[in-house]
Every structure is written in C-alpha cells, then in structure tokens.
Amino acid sequence: MEYIRRLTESLEVWQFVVVGVVTFVVMRKLRRYFTVLKKYTAEGKTILITGANTGIGRAAAIEFAKRGGRVILACRDTEKAKRAAYYIRERTNKGLLVIKQLDLSSQDSVRKFANDILATEDRLDVLVNNAGVFGLPYGLTEDGIETTFAVNHLSHFLLTNMLLDLMRKKKHARIITVTSMLYARGIIDIDDIVKGGHKSSSYSQSKLANIMCANVLSSRLAGSGITVNSVSPGMVKTDLARHKIGESFMKNLMYETVGRLLLKTPEQGCEMIISCALDPDFKSTTGKLFRNGQKLELNDVAKDESTALRLWDVCMDLTNLH
C-alpha cells in the first residue's frame, strides 16, 4: 500500500508538471494572436536594419514597412536580401524597401557601406544593429579580429560611429542594439579582446561589449537628440543557432520541435525593437536595456564604467576611428 501511495503521489506531481508545461506552451502560442503592437507610425522615417534578410531583422523590417517607413535592408548576401524583400512585399505593400550589401566581417565593407549611405541618404532616423552570429568555430577576420566579436560588436561600433553625423541632422534619432541576456556570462578581457576564446564565451563577450559601448555612446550623445538603447529579444526561434546545431538530423529535429513549442516567434521577438524605435514615450529614453517590455537593471560587470571606457578606446583603435 505504501508503494501504491508513493506512486500515486509521483503521478500527481508529474500531472502538475505536464499541465504546467502545456499551459505555458499554449499561452506562449496564443500570445502571438492577441498581442497587437501599438500603431506607431514610421511615415517619413528612414530605418536601417543590419541582418534584415531573416529572423528578427526581417520581422522588424515588415513592421517598419507596414507603418510606412523607408527601410534599408543591410545584408551580406544580396540574393537573400532580395528574397527577404519579396517575403516582406507578400505581407505589406506599404513603405519603401532598399537593399544594400554589407559584410560585417570586413571593416572595408562597413566603410564602403557607410560612405554609400552618407552619399545617398539625406536622413537616418533609426539604426537597428541587429545582425549577429553564434557558435562559430574560432577564426579571425581579414582585419585580424576574432570573427564573433567582429561581426556582433566591432563592425556595428564602426558603422554606428560613421553614421552619427547623418543621424544628427534629425532633431530626434534612435539607435537600437540587439543584445542578449547571455551578456551576463561575458567578461571583457581588454588585453586579449582581439583573440577571442571559446565560441560560446566570445558570443557573451560580444553581447556585453554591445551594452557597455551603447551606454558610453548614450552618455556622449547626451543632449544631442539621439538616443541609444539595447534590446534583448529573449529566446527566439531563428537560424542564429545554425552553426551550433550543424547538420545533425537529431539536433535539427529537436530544435524545430522545441523551438515551435517553447521559443518566441521572430514577430514576438521584434516587438521591443519597434517600441524603442517608434514609441513617442521613448523619445528621451536612453542608455537602457529592455526585455519583454520591461527596463532591466544591468549587472555589476556591465555597469563598470572604467572598463567600458577602456573598451571604447580599444574599439576606437581597432577600427582606426581615433
């Protein structure tokens, strides 16, 4: 009888767990149908998004276009960008779409891209630093920078600084950096920053660098009308993990199954980006980190101002901006 009683109790616990998981999954999936972003307008605005051909970047591009914005799709592969533009046009005929080639693993490409934008655009209202990589094997770019750090942080650092004068032409402009809560695992090793390390830690380091430099820039732009904020979209089902998963059938099957059940959709993942970019209430908000509609407190490492300033100077040196 004791055995039966314990078995019954175990079954009750598992029933509770199963009900909890099913409820979570159902609520997560229903949220996509009941969450409606406020009708912020992007009319008359030019918005530049890196990595706009897939995932969160493409979802954000759709939302900006729906609101009448002129959206620059900055992508490494222009053929994929064209397919993304077609995908966007299937969902809205509003707004304007512009495709530009940008390879974030090359500072030369970033400079050519930025100079092209400066020569052809008369305004830039919103810059969304979205593109990123995760789980890459260790390697160096043509500039001698560890690839993950170069793509996720340093090239965006260069791009942002090169476009500041254009953004200053507008009374109000906004810079949004897409980061990750994995920043909390990052450590900024100034002396070894260009060498990187394990592929997971280099990602965390790049995401921490995103936030620290965004906050330094926010301070330097105080009173300019340009705001700088960071957004963590949460766990979103995109192809960001493709290098980590590889070609393993089982890993891909598990990711597809679990992803569909538990992860956010790209549409859900881009919601905070749209708010930070267009919400009038964010006009003066700067130097903050947002996730799931909430402002988050940074950990002590991310708030280390002396390390942030040293990191800024190193990034200036590595991009020859001094």
Residues of the chain with pLDDT > 70, as a percent, come to: 77
- Flag whether 23 is in a domain: no
- Flag whether 9 is in a domain: no
Phi, psi of 135 (to 5 degrees): 75, 20
Contact 259, 201 (CB under 8 A): no
Does 87 participate in catalysis according to the annotation? Answer: no
- Flag whether 11 is in a domain: no
- Flag whether 28 is in a domain: no
- Flag whether 5 is in a domain: no
pLDDT for residue 196 is more than 90: no
Q: Give the pLDDT confidence score for residue 21 in this predicted structure.
A: 40
pLDDT for residue 255 is more than 80: no
Amino acid present at 253: L
- Flag whether 16 is in a domain: no
Choice among 33, 40, 138, 203 that is catalytic: 203
Q: Tell me the pLDDT tens digit for each residue of 40-88.
A: 999 999 999 999 999 999 999 999 999 999 999 999 999 999 999 999 9
Contact 57, 269 (CB under 8 A): no
d(CA 279, CA 1): 63
- Flag whether 253 is in a domain: yes
The confidence band for 274, taking pLDDT boundaries of 50, 70 and 90, is: very high
Q: Give the DSSP per-residue string, 13-77.
A: HHHHHHHHHHHHHHHHHHHHHH--------TT-EEEEETTTSHHHHHHHHHHHHTT-EEEEEES-
pLDDT for residue 23 is more than 50: no
Could you list the residue range(s) of the whole structural domain that residue 257 is in? 35-318
CATH of the domain at 298: 3.40.50.720
- Flag whether 207 is in a domain: yes
Question: Into how many domains does the chain fold?
Answer: 1
